Structure 1
Amino acid sequence: MDVNQLIHIVIVLVVVGVLLGLINRFIPMASSIKSIINGIVVIFVVLWLLQLFGIIGAIGGMRVR
């Protein structure tokens, strides 16, 4: 992984964090809904990072039977 890819990852993480912070601060909703949204975003970011670093395979290839 080269420096450009790492910079891209950091930029994506900062943008996601800023957007999540703006949503939490300026959009009025119940705290339980905010917690659910925060949890979902964190799960997706962690899965994206795990897939990016090759720890898990392609998520699109999974099938539910």
Structure 2
Amino acid sequence: MTLVNIVVILVVVGLVMWLINSYIPMAAAIKSLLNIVVFVVVLIWILQTFGLIGAIPGLKMPALK
């Protein structure tokens, strides 16, 4: 996976989260929880992509090729 692919994926995830936060009405608590969950998932994925952490048992993260 190239650095360009990673940046494109991050931009797409950020754009989708911005669209959800801007245009889908929901309670502030749910919106905050959604943002935290997405952030943690993306952070774990990036750390695994760069090899800083290994696979987490019981957690299946799709490998993008």
TM-score by length of 2: 0.84
Give the match for residue 26 of structure 1: 23
Which ranges in structure 2 are unaligned for 5 or more consecutive residues?
59-65
Percent identical: 52
- By relative contact order (CA 8 Å, sep 6+), the higher-ranking structure is 2
Which ranges in structure 1 are unaligned for 5 or more consecutive residues?
none
* Larger Rg computed on CA atoms: 1
More helix by share: 1
TM-score by length of 1: 0.84
| Runs ≥4 residues deviating over 3 A | none
Aligned residues: 58
